Amino acid sequence: MSVADAARRAAHAGRKIVDALGMRPTTVCIRTEVYAADIADGSTASTTTDTAIVPRPKVVKLADDKASMYGANPVGLVQGHAILSTYEVGPITPPFPGGGSTLASLVSPTTVDTKHRALVLLTGPDFAAAGEVCVIVHADWTKPLRGMLVVQRAPQNASGT
C-alpha cells in the first residue's frame, strides 16, 4: 500500500469516527432515477435508487442564489421566495484498497443517458422530511485525500422536489 493509500485509509477511519460521534447529521445519497422513456414533460421515474455515501460527509450551505427561470425549491420553505440553495458536500475519501469512492463510482456516468438521471438527496434535521434534491454543479477529486462536491437545489420538476 502506498503512502497515499495509507493516508486515505487513515482519513477514512477518522471520518467514520466523526460520523459515529453524530457530527455529520446530514445523510447524502446519490439518487439514480430510471425512466421508462426519454425524460420529458410529465414523465415520472419508474425506478428510483438512493445510495448513501458512507461515512456521511460534511454538508455546508454555501449560498442562496436567485432561482433560475426553471425554479428552485418549493416556495413553502421560504415563504414564497424561490431560492436556489448551494451546498458543499465533503470530504469524501478517494479510493484506496478496501474503500473510498471515485466520482464516477458515485454517479455512474456510463449509465447516464436520456432515460437516466443522477441527483443528490440531502436528508437530515436541517432539511424537510422528504429531503432536498440537488444536482451536482461542481466536483473536485484532484486532492489526494478528499473529494468534494458542490450541489445545488434541483429544478422544481426534477423528481422528488
Partner 1 sequence: MSALLGGIDARIVQIVQNGRGITGAAGSTTTLVRRLSLVPPLVGQPYGVTANGTAVTYTIGFMEGIVEILDHLAAQLLAITGLFTSVTKDYTGDGSLTCTSLAPVTFTSPVRLAVADTAAVFSTHAQAIAIPVGSFRRSEGKAPLDDPGLDGAAFDRAYDIVWGTTDEGDGVNEFDAVSLVTVKAAVEVGVLVGQGVASLIKVQGTETTADLSSPNERALGISLQIRRAMTCGELYQGNDVDPPIIMCARDGATTTRMVEGGGRMIVSTPFVMTLAIDNTNPYRP
Considering only 45-53, 98-106, 139-147, 152-160, which stretch makes contact with partner 1 by CB under 8 A? Answer: 152-160
Q: What are phi and psi of 123, to 5 degrees?
A: -130, 150
Binding mask 50-69 for partner 1 (x = CB under 8 A): ------------------xx
User: What does R_g of the chain's alpha carbons equal in angstroms?
Assistant: 16
- List b or e across 65-96, with b for residues whose CB sees 16 or more CB atoms inside 10 angstroms: eebeeebbbeeebeeeebbbbbbbbbbbbbeb
Q: Does 49 bind partner 1 (CB under 8 A)?
A: no
Identify the CA nearest to 103 among candidates 54, 137, 149.
149
Q: Does 156 bind partner 1 (CB under 8 A)?
A: yes
Q: Rule CB under 8 A: choose which of 9, 16, 116, 146 binds partner 1.
A: 116
> Could you tell me the three cell numbers for 55?
461515512
Q: Does 3 bind partner 1 (CB under 8 A)?
A: no
Q: Does 146 bind partner 1 (CB under 8 A)?
A: no
User: Taking a C-beta distance cutoff of 8 angstroms, is the pair 159, 49 a contact?
Assistant: no
Q: Does 103 bind partner 1 (CB under 8 A)?
A: no
Q: Rule CB under 8 A: choose which of 78, 114, 128, 130 binds partner 1.
A: 114
Q: Rule CB under 8 A: choose which of 41, 66, 76, 129 binds partner 1.
A: 41
Give the shortest CB-133-to-partner 1 separation in angstroms: 11
> Could you tell me the three cell numbers for 22?
453524530
Spatial distance between the Cα atoms of 65 and 39, rounded to a whole number of angstroms? 26
Give the shortest CB-28-to-partner 1 separation in angstroms: 19
Which residues form the interface with partner 1 (CB under 8 A)? 37-43, 68-71, 109-110, 112-117, 135, 154-158
